[in-house]
Amino acid sequence: EIVLTQSPGTLSLSPGERATLSCRASQSVSSSYLSWYQQKPGQTPRRLIYGASSRGTGIPDRFSGSGSGTDFTLTISRLEPEDFAVYYCQQSGSSPLTFGGGTKVEIK
């Protein structure tokens, strides 16, 4: 099983700042099989990024994904008030599909 470790656990930032979220895999993951999701309290998850760097439908361009192998990054260029949420990475390169434990982006 591929274990995804997300860091930091919590990121405290102000609106307008840049957020950099990390996702490290225990084994190499093909870039084609790495996705990122956003979940706000009480809401359903929303896919932001698939294939490590492709934005989902309707996702603003302030969200970008990068990385390869075992190290992947989600960057939010300038935080908007609606971006404060929990973010999960997910791999689908091998079964079982697994999610990281999440990074909470909170208002500083």
Partner 1 sequence: EVQLVESGGGLVQPGGSLRLSCAASGFTFSNYWMSWVRQAPGKGLEWVANIKLDGSETDYVDSVKGRFTISRDNAKNSLYLQMSSLRAEDTAVYFCARGGYSFADWGQGILVTVSS
How far are the Cα atoms of 12, 32, 50, 91 from residue 35, in angstroms, in the given order? 23, 9, 4, 6
Residues 28-67 that bind partner 1 (CB under 8 A): 33, 35, 37, 39, 44-47, 50-51, 56-57
Min. distance of Cβ 43 from partner 1 in angstroms? Answer: 9
Instruction: Please identify, using beta-carbon distances, which residue of 4 and 76 lies nearer to partner 1.
Output: 4
Nearest to 72 by CA among 6, 3, 19, 1: 6
Specify burial of residue 41 (Cβ count, 10 A radius: 0-12, 13-18, 19+): exposed
- Residue 93 region, left (φ>0) first, then alpha (ψ -120 to 50), else beta? alpha
Residues 2-31 that bind partner 1 (CB under 8 A): none
Residues 65-104 that bind partner 1 (CB under 8 A): 88, 90, 92, 95-102
Instruction: Please identify, using beta-carbon distances, which residue of 18 and 106 lies nearer to partner 1.
Output: 106
Count interface residues toward partner 1 (CB under 8 A).
23
Q: Which residues bind partner 1 (CB under 8 A)?
A: 33, 35, 37, 39, 44-47, 50-51, 56-57, 88, 90, 92, 95-102
